[in-house]
Structure 1
Amino acid sequence: MRTRALAAAATALALFGGSIALAPAANAAPPETGTITLDAPATVDAGDTVEVVAEAPAATDLYAYTLTVDFDPAVVEFDSAATSHTTDGYDAVSEDTGSVEFTHTRLGTSPGLTGETTLVTFTFTAQGAGTVEFALSEATFVSSTDETLDLAAAVTASTEVTAAVDPTPTPTSTATTEPTPDPTETGTPADEETDSATGDLANTGSDASVWTIVAAFAAALAAFGVVLVLRRRAVNR
C-alpha cells in the first residue's frame, strides 16, 4: 500500500512539473497590432513641415518593432531631429536615400504594449511642388516572448506639395500727383491795356487837332494883317 501511494505521488508530481515546464511554450504567441495606419496631411506648401504618424489601433503584447518608410527625396527631406515615440524604451533611426527605418523596443521586464498605440511620429520638410507617397513597405513586430509578426501589406499615405507663392510686395511709398496750379495773372488785363492804349492814342490825336487849328487860325490872322497893311499903303499913295 505504501509503495502504491509513493508511486501515485511521484506520478502526480511529474505531471504537475511537466505542466509548469510546458506553460511558457503554451502561452508564447506573436503580438497583435490590428490594421496599421499611416496618416499625413493632404496638402502643404513648399517649405512647410509634413508630419506623418504610424499607429497600431489594437496592439497586444507588442514589445518591439521595426518600421521602414519609403518617400521621394526630390519632394520632401527627412528631419531626423523631430522623430518621437510616445512610450518608454530604446529608439533608433537609420536613414538612407528615399527611405528611413525606425526601431523601438521596451526594456527589461517592461510589459508589451496593449491597445491603441502610436508607433512613431516623424516629420519632413517639403522641398518643391509634387505629390509624395509615404509607404510603410516593411515592418516586423516582436512580442515579449520573442514571437514575431510581419506586416502583411504595405500601408501608404500621400501628400500634395504646392509651390510657394511669393507675396506681392507692398510699396514703401505712394507717389502723389499734385495738380498743376493755374498760372496767376499779373499786370493789367488785356482789355484794360487795350483801352489804355486806345485812350492814349485818342488823347494824342486830340492834342494834335487842337494845335493844328491854332496854327491855322494864327496863319489866317497873319494873312489878314498883311492884307490890311497893303491896303493902307495903297490909300496913302
Structure 2
Amino acid sequence: MPETIPSGRRRRARTRALALLTAALAVFGGSLALAPAAHAATGVTVTAPGAVTAGDTVTVTVAAEAGADLFAYDLTLGYDPTLLAFAAGSETYPTGGYGAVTESSGTVTFTNTRLGTSPGLAGTHDLVTFSFTAVGSGSATISVDDGTFLDSASASQPLPEAVTTTVEIAAAPVTPSPTPAPGAPGAGAPAAGEGAADDAAASDPAGNSAGSLATTGGDVVMWIVVGAAGVGLLALGVVLMVRRRRAEVEA
C-alpha cells in the first residue's frame, strides 16, 4: 500500500519554494543563477498600449509559457520615471498564490508563489498585470530586465532573455482660455441693460430706480381699475332708479 503523505507536509514542501526564493533574493540582490529547470517557464512577453496621451493609464501585462510546473517567480521591470509612474496596488497575479511588490526609481519587482495545495502553473499564463500613469510625453520603454522561475521542487530557471515594449506618449492637449467677444461683459463694455438703467436713473429727478418706476406705473393702473369700477356702480344705480320710476308711473 502506498504511503499517504500528510497535507501539512505537502504544504511545507510547496511553501519552501517561497522561502528559497526570498532567501536567494536577499543574498544575490534579486538574481538567481542555479541549475536550470527544464519545465519552469519559457517565452516571456510584455505587452502595453502602443500609444497614449499624458495623463492616461498604461496597462502592462507580463505573460509566459509556464511549462508544466511553475510554482514561484520574480520579475524585475525597468521604465523611465520621467514618463511613467507606477500605480501602487494595481497589480494582479494568477489566483491561488501570494504576491509582493518592491519598487524603486525606474524599476519595479513582482514576486509571486503558489500556496497550500495550489498546483504549479502549466501552459501560457499572465504572470502579472499592472498599471502605470503617463506623466510626460515621449517614447517610454518598458522592459523585463531580470527574472527567476522555480518549480515545486525548488529547481530554478533564469529569465531566458530581456524583453521590451515601447509606448508612445503624446502631450496632453492644452485648452486655451476663452477670449471675451467685443462688447461682451468683462471686455470693457457695460453689460446688457446697464446703460438703460443708468439713463432711467439719471432722468428721474426724485432718484427713483427703474423698479420704483415700475411700481408707480402699477399704482396708476390700480387706481384706473378702481375708478372704472366706481363708474360702473354709479351707472348701475342710475339704471335701477330709472326702472323704478317707470314702474311707478305705469302703476
Q: Which category describes the TM-score, using the shorter chain as reference length?
A: 0.5 to 0.7
Counterpart-to-counterpart distance in 2, 1:109 and 1:30: 22
8 Å Cα contact 1:31-1:142 kept in structure 2: no
Matches within 5 A, 1:104-143: 104-143=112-151
8 Å Cα contact 2:37-2:150 kept in structure 1: no
Q: Compute the displacement of 1:43 (Å).
A: 0.8
Counterpart-to-counterpart distance in 1, 2:164 and 2:37: 28
**CA deviation string 1:165-191 (max 9, x = no partner):** 123556788969xxxxxxxxxxxxxxx
Equivalent position of 1:87 in the other structure: 95
Name structure 1 gaps, 5 residues minimum.
Answer: 1-27, 177-237
Counterpart-to-counterpart distance in 2, 1:123 and 1:59: 26
Equivalent position of 1:147 in the other structure: 155
Equivalent position of 1:33 in the other structure: 41
Matches within 5 A, 1:156-171: 156-168=164-176
Counterpart-to-counterpart distance in 2, 1:66 and 1:105: 9
Which amino acid counterpart does residue 147 of structure 2 have in structure 1? A
Which amino acid counterpart does residue 89 of structure 2 have in structure 1? A
Q: Compute the displacement of 1:132 (Å).
A: 1.0
Which amino acid counterpart does residue 146 of structure 1 have in structure 2? S
**CA deviation string 1:79-124 (max 9, x = no partner):** 1111111322111000011000000000123210011101000111
Q: Compute the displacement of 1:153 (Å).
A: 1.2
Which amino acid counterpart does residue 92 of structure 2 have in structure 1? S
Equivalent position of 2:65 in the other structure: 57
Q: TM-score, normalised by structure 2?
A: 0.55
What is the RMSD computed on CA atoms of the aligned residues?
2.2
Counterpart-to-counterpart distance in 1, 2:138 and 2:171: 8
Matched residues, percent identical?
41
Counterpart-to-counterpart distance in 1, 2:182 and 2:128: 53
Counterpart-to-counterpart distance in 1, 2:162 and 2:132: 20
Name structure 2 gaps, 5 residues minimum.
Answer: 1-35, 185-251
Flag the 1:87–1:59 CA change in 2: closer, same or farther, 3 A.
Answer: farther
Q: What SS does the aligned partner of 1:59 have? A: coil
Equivalent position of 1:220 in the other structure: none
Which amino acid counterpart does residue 90 of structure 1 have in structure 2? Y
Counterpart-to-counterpart distance in 2, 1:137 and 1:83: 18
Flag the 1:29–1:99 CA change in 2: closer, same or farther, 3 A.
Answer: closer
Q: What SS does the aligned partner of 1:81 have? A: coil
**CA deviation string 1:13-71 (max 9, x = no partner):** xxxxxxxxxxxxxxx95433231100011111000001110001353200000000000
Which amino acid counterpart does residue 40 of structure 1 have in structure 2? A
Flag the 1:29–1:127 CA change in 2: closer, same or farther, 3 A.
Answer: closer
Q: Which has the higher strand share?
A: 1
Larger-gyration structure (1/2): 1
Flag the 1:115–1:172 CA change in 2: closer, same or farther, 3 A.
Answer: farther
Counterpart-to-counterpart distance in 1, 2:112 and 2:174: 41
Counterpart-to-counterpart distance in 2, 1:82 and 1:34: 25
Q: TM-score, normalised by structure 1?
A: 0.58
- Matched positions, count: 149
Equivalent position of 2:76 in the other structure: 68
